[in-house]
């Protein structure tokens, strides 16, 4: 999925999805940082459907 598709799916702006890929999100209780995994296809980030499951 593209950044825009993931943004629409999650209800976030595309910039927030880029932040989740680059910086991640610290989970509130454990403080573990979770990053949204993405591979690069032709220079464009691609997020697999299994990441969103």
What is the tens place of the pLDDT at every residue in 15-44? Answer: 999 999 999 999 999 999 989 999 988 888
Cβ 7 vs Cβ 17: under 8 Å: yes
Instruction: Give the per-residue pLDDT at 48.
Output: 85
The 8-class DSSP code of residue 40 comes to E
Domain coordinates of the chain in residue numbers? 3-41
Q: What is the pTM of this model?
A: 0.78
Task: List alpha helices for 1-53, DSSP H.
Answer: 3-10, 14-22
Q: How far apart are CA 45 and CA 29, in angstroms?
A: 29
């Amino acid at each position: 999925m593209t950044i825009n598709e993931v943004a629409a799916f999650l209800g976030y702006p595309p910039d927030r999805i880029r932040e989740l890929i680059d910086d991640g999100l610290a989970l509130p209780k454990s403080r573990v940082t979770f990053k949204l995994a993405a591979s690069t296809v032709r220079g464009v980030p691609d997020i697999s459907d299994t990441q969103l499951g």
